[in-house]
Amino acid sequence: MTIRQMNMTLNKEAMKDYRKFKKLGVIDESIGWICRTTLDQEVVTFCTSKGSITFDEADVVHRGSSLQGYSHHANTRLINHGK
């Protein structure tokens, strides 16, 4: 079963960070891959000289969930914008 079939995505905050770090070239995977990997191993981190970002299970939500716009683990997300 795929993440799309499970109706999973990133919450709004995580999606904002995903787009930013994808544009910077830090993230080289799809949203689906991040959701699957995070659900499988609790956390996934991307790191380059341009920055680093970590997603955790709280960043993955059901589409249309009332939690779509908020992650209670938002303060634990690790973001480094590089130099």
DSSP of 11-34:
-HHHHHHHHHHHHHT---S-HHHH
Q: How far apart are CA 10 and CA 17, in angstroms?
A: 10
The tally of domains found in the chain comes to: 1
Q: How large is the average pLDDT for residues 34-56? A: 93
pLDDT at 78: 56
Per the prediction, the chain carries an average pLDDT of: 80
Could you tell me the pTM of the whole model?
A: 0.74
Residue given tokens 């699957």 in the structure block: 36
Q: Which domain holds residue 47?
A: 3-80
- Type of residue found at 57: E
pLDDT confidence tier of residue 3, bands split at 50, 70 and 90: low
Q: At what angle do helices 12-24 and 31-41 cross, to 10 degrees?
A: 120
pLDDT at 52: 93
